[in-house]
Amino acid sequence: MKKPKIILIVCISVAVLLCILPIPHILKDGGTIHLTPIVPTYKIYIYNAEWPDEQTLKGWAVNIFGVEIYENTYVTSESQNAT
């Protein structure tokens, strides 16, 4: 009776960890980070994208089950940051 309980607890623990622990993916657009677990229950984007016309996209966004829950992004110009 004890062995099946232990196996069940271990299996549930592994499934929860696969749904919660994020894996970071660094994109090649200037430093944007995309966090998502192995089982894609949520996605977190931390934007730091640089564009050729000296503008930068900054901010972050959260998606849960493919629905955007929060989004706070803005575009900055590098000429304004130089002062």
> In this predicted model, what pLDDT tens digit does every residue of 33-47 receive, in sequence order?
999 999 889 999 999
Query: Which of 1, 34, 36, 5 is CA-nearest to residue 19?
Result: 36
Mean pLDDT, the chain, as a whole number? Answer: 88
Give the whole-number percent of the chain exceeding pLDDT 70.
92
Two structure tokens written together for 21: 């622990």
Give the whole-number percent of the chain exceeding pLDDT 90.
58
Distance from C-alpha of 60 to C-alpha of 35, rounded to nearest angstrom: 11
Alpha carbon 46 to its chain centroid, in Å, reads: 7
